[in-house]
Amino acid sequence: RFHGEGYQEGYAEGSHAGVVEGRRYGSLHGAKIGSEIGCYLGFALTWHRLLQKCMDEKNSKKIRALDSLIGMVQKFPYEDPTYDKLQEDLEKIRGKFKQVCSMLNIQSDFRIGTERSSLTF
């Protein structure tokens, strides 16, 4: 009887602790992904606006790449944590961001730390 009661108490306590830890982990990593995606969108929108001022063939290709990045970010499923291709889509966005940076001849370094997050050029 004591063994059974102890098991039930331990199971209930472990389940509660797991839910709390999972919620904290999800919030932390969700915020990191949101920050990263937000930086990509802000970067792309800013450069899109700057390049529209002087349209030529070179800028046309860059603008198309920026449009693609903006579209990918806007289609990203922010509100669905159960989306099965979330990591795959995030990697595609990161790849497109690196491609755009290369086209713009910009060194990019996106870092997320506990004390700060930054996007440096």
pLDDT at 121: 46
Residue 118 in any domain: the answer is no
Residue 14 in any domain: the answer is yes
Residue 120 in any domain: the answer is no
Query: What's the chain's average pLDDT?
Result: 84
| Sign, CA torsion 71/100/86/119 | negative
Residue 42 in any domain: the answer is yes
Residues of the chain with pLDDT > 90, as a percent, come to 36
Q: Is the pLDDT of residue 111 over 60?
A: no
Residue 98 in any domain: the answer is yes
**Strand partners for 120:** 109
pLDDT at 47: 92
pLDDT at 119: 53
Residues of the chain with pLDDT > 70, as a percent, come to 89
| Cβ-count burial 5-22 (b if 16+ within 10 Å, e if not) | eeeeeeeeeeeeeeeeee
pTM for this entry: 0.72
In the chain, the number of structural domains is 1
Average pLDDT over residues 49-74: 88
Residue 116 in any domain: the answer is no
Residue 56 in any domain: the answer is yes
Residue 17 in any domain: the answer is yes
Q: Is the pLDDT of residue 45 over 60?
A: yes
What is the extent of the structural domain holding 33?
2-104
